[in-house]
Structure 1
Amino acid sequence: MQVSVETTSNIERRMTIGVPAQEIDQAVQKRLQETARTVRLNGFRPGKVPMSVVKRRFGDSVRQEIVGEVMRDNYIKALQEQDINPAGWPQFEPKTMEEGKDLEFVAIFEVLPEIELGDLSAINVEKPVAEVADKDIDTMIDNLRRQQATMKEVKRKSKNKDVVTIDFKGSIDGEEFEGGSAEGHRLTLGSGQMIPGFEKGIVGGKAGEELEIDVEFPDDYQNEELAGKPAKFAITIHKVEEPQLPELDQEFFARFGIEAEDEAAFREEVKKNMERELKQAVFNKVKNDVVDGLLETTELDVPAALIDQEIDRLRQDAVQRFGGQVDFQQLPKEIFEEQAKRRVKTGLLFQEVVKKNDLKADDAKVEEKIQEIASTYEQPDEVIAHFNSNPDQKSQVESSVLEDAVVDLVLGQAKVTEKKMKYEEAVQAGQQQR
């Protein structure tokens, strides 16, 4: 086997491989002999078909099969000999494959890029600084109560947090527009579900009243044909309902898996959960800034094969989230391309930081993270035992700890600016995944 490798770009290689004709011909002859022993043809007894007939009937297809197998096997051997690590499967281009002649073919493939990390000190990170205040706990508990509320119809004027049942019909310059009307629509006033001014215009209305309100679509509204335009809505209020909030008792606490004797104990558990959420949100925000910084400071070519693999993973995840009713390949690849590219680049950059700095997943931190995960379950000891007895699950935690180590290392060299935020602002900042 003769091998030569040409570098056609930072990540693309063209490997030309030559295989002696004798190797091909022997493999073809052996496969034809096997075929002759098993093939059934009219006019011949099994195993008695002349080789000349077998070759005439199956020679071309058998040779095609053998050439494909030889190209695959010799490509793998050549990679090992040349110590090359490809990113994805190659494209084969046969150059000569006639009977009696040496086989020569080209394998075109991509390799993982050589990465030269940028200046980590040039990375800017904004770290939220927040705490869980008493009013934040009050808001959270109020939200939890409203999730469990029952509704009571009232005859008074509507106010924020009431639920109204309405018909509405929207128009612009006297013309109704698509998607601007509905009947029997239930709306929680003050929820921000509708465009600015819509819900505020209903507050104070009573069941049986008809209203007409003037609003303006935001400039960044998703429907560009409506963005920035003034509109009128004719609204009929059918019903006003007031939420009846449940009492803060043990029955209510148990609905959220919390064993608490009184409101004070319940508040303490809610606070712990909120602090965990805040901690994770701050880390997510910081990690996003670290990733952005690495991407901005490092030039990186990405193998298309890795992007395609990640696109398929994202498409499969999307199908699962929507109930698995469609084949993931029916989803357009373009929708996921940018996200896939960012993920692949991030993975390659993190791997390079790990390799360059010889980072390892600290056993104590792995155990700490497992305990942290387990603490959110009713039977934490069972969860811990599950992780410790399941290598794949534990490996995922180790990968997460290693990612944390990368973030910590970059933070040690980056420019970190702390920014005071309210609890809700910090949580939202951590949810803005790119």
Structure 2
Amino acid sequence: MAVQIENLGQLDRKVTLEFARADLAKAREARLVKLGKTMKMAGFRPGKVPKNLVEKQYGMQVDFELQFDKASELFYELAQIEKIALAGQPRLEPKSELEADTIVFDALFEVLPEVKIGDFSKAEVTKYLTEIADPEIDRAIDVLRKQQVHYHPRGEAGHHGDGGANMAAQAGDQVVIDFVGKIDGVEFAGGKAENFEYVLGEGRMLPEFEAATLGLKAGESKTFPLAFPADYHGKDVAGKTAEFTITVKSVNWPHLPAVDDAFALSMGVTEGGVAKMRAEVKENLDREVKRRITSLLKNEVMEKLNSLCELDVPKSLVASEQERLVESARQDLMQRGIPNAKDVPIPVEMFAEQATKRVRLGLILGDLVKQQNLAATADQIKAEIDEQAATYEDPKEVVRWFYSNPSRLKDIENLVLEDNVIKYFTSLAKVTDKAISFEELSKLN
């Protein structure tokens, strides 16, 4: 077996493999005997087909399979002996005839690149700081209250009042209307409805429609022009101006539940009332702040790693990652119920940049973890699982769920590994703390 490895440039390599066809004789005979036991042919009982007919039917196929298997075996033996860091599977190309006494294959393959780690002390990253105080807690509770909103007709007295003296539709009110739209005096499809219900200010309707409704009372009508945007989803009316007439059937004001112990109970807080609810809301917000800050810092660190480190990217790994991303996109389409998602053409080229970036980062992280001993430890993995499990009603069951599945456990291991890399990187880089509000933090990608 030849052991001379040819350098074809950058990461591409080639090695020529040779072996005697006679070395496969015993395996060839055994393979043909096995096939003959199940071979069916007219005029013969199963398993009783003559050897020469089995040879005629399967001889070339067996030669082809055995020669490729042998070449593959020799290649991986060589890779182990020579300690070749393979980037992917080799491409085996036969260079001899099937019947030749000496079988020759070229094995074309890529090796993993050398990663040149840059000077992290020259990097600058931002770490955001956000404190959760009463205003943030109040806003979060308001969101919870709005999830339990219900509506009462304006002017009708009830247990929660009558909504005040102003009977006109206001922002936040729920209105029920009839409407009809016409373009050049002709009604159009989708431009008419009865007892149509929506809430003013939620953005469900076009701004002109909402503006026309504001200030109207139950029983009042209004006619107004409405210009549909050029990119409006209804292609028949996009870019055109319609004349709408709306008639308000009812105006209903929103009633939000009071922030009291009953409301806390409705939120699942069985003990401690409002104070306990506020503490739990703060805990959840703190957890969200930590998650977002960690995510933003991680993204910035990964960008810096990508720019500071130099390496050649194996084409085979990029191709594999592109295929994986295509399959992921297809699964997403299927989960969203897209018709014929299995057959929708998804060009791999659209994932070239993303795949290349992922492969680069994967190689950089792998090299850095190895160099600096940043692999996730069992204690770190357990601590991360315990932290995630603590947010659930039955933490022990969640811990069991993680440890019962190697794939889920691997996800946690990768999470801890990335955290180790971030800590190492930020210990060397210049880190600038920046205090921002929760609202500002929520808008950052």
- TM > 0.5: yes
Aligned to 1:128: 128
Find the aligned partners of 2:421 and 2:182 in 1 and give their Cα distance.
52
Partner of 2:163: none
Which residue number corresponds to residue 84 of structure 2?
Answer: 84
Q: 1:269 maps to what in 2?
A: 280
Residues 145-164 of structure 1: per-residue CA shift (max 9 Å, x gap): 11122233447323223344
Q: What does residue range 131-280 of structure 1 map to in structure 2 within 5 Å?
A: 131-154=131-154, 156-164=167-175, 183=193, 187-192=198-203, 199=210, 202-207=213-218, 208-210=220-222, 212=224, 234=244, 236=246, 238=248, 239-250=250-261, 252-280=263-291
Query: How many angstroms apart in 1 are the aligned matches of 2:180 and 2:428?
Result: 56
Judged with a 3 Å threshold, the aligned counterparts in structure 2 of structure 1 residues 105 and 189 are, in CA distance, closer, same or farther, namely farther
Q: Give SS of 2:15's match.
A: strand
2:418 matched to which residue of 1? 403
State the number of aligned residues: 423
* Aligned ranges 1:20-419 → 2 under 5 Å: 20-44=20-44, 49-154=49-154, 156-164=167-175, 183=193, 187-192=198-203, 199=210, 202-207=213-218, 208-210=220-222, 212=224, 234=244, 236=246, 238=248, 239-250=250-261, 252-300=263-311, 301-302=313-314, 303-312=317-326, 314-315=328-329, 318-319=332-333, 321-322=335-336, 330=344, 332-334=346-348, 336-361=351-376, 365-384=380-399, 386-387=401-402, 393-419=408-434
- Contact residue 189 and residue 199 of structure 1 kept, 8 A: yes
Q: Give the drift of 1:165.
A: 5.1
Q: Shift in Å at residue 332 of structure 1?
A: 1.7
Question: Compared with structure 1, are the counterparts of its residues 259 and 103 closer, same or farther at alpha carbon in structure 2 (3 Å cutoff)?
Answer: farther
Change (3 A) 1:332 1:47: closer
Q: Identity percentage over the alignment?
A: 31
CA deviation vs aligned residue, 1:369-421 (integer Å, no higher than 9, x gap) = 33321221112344345556766544433332221111112122223333332
Over 3 Å counting, the alpha-carbon distance change for 1:125 and 1:61 in structure 2 is same
Q: 1:128 to 1:338 in 2, by over 3 A?
A: same
CA positional deviation for 1:99: 0.5
Q: Equivalents in 2 of 1:259, 1:309: separation in Å? A: 50
What letter corresponds to residue 254 of structure 2 in structure 1? P
CA distance in 1: counterparts of 2:217 and 2:321, whole angstroms = 56
Residues 86 and 110, structure 2, Cα contact 8 Å, conserved in 1? yes
When residues 311 and 324 of structure 1 are mapped into structure 2, their CA distance, relative to the original with a 3 A threshold, is same
Counterparts of 2:407 and 2:419, CA distance in 1: 19
Which structure has the greater CA radius of gyration?
A: 2
Distance in 2 of aligned mates of 1:73 and 1:179? 68
Residue 325 of structure 1 and its aligned partner are, at CA, apart by 7.7
- How do 1:415-430 and structure 2 match up within 5 A? 415-429=430-444
Instruction: Please tell me whether the aligned partners of residues 5 and 14 of structure 2 are also in contact (alpha carbons under 8 angstroms).
Output: yes
Query: Which runs of 5 or more residues in structure 1 are unaligned?
Result: none
When structure 1 is superposed on structure 2, of 383-392 and 83-92 the one drifting more is 383-392
Structure 2: tracts of 5 or more residues without a match: 156-166
TM-score by length of 2: 0.78
Closer, same or farther: CA 47–356 of 1 in aligned 2, 3 Å: closer
The 1-side partners of 2:352 and 2:293 are apart by: 27
RMSD: 4.0
Task: Work out the CA distance in 1 between the residues paired with 2:293 and 2:373.
Answer: 26
Query: Aligned equivalents of 1:46 and 1:215: distance in 2?
Result: 78
- Pairwise CA distance, 1:17: 2.0
CA 1:361 to 1:57, structure 2 compared with 1: closer, same or farther past 3 Å? closer
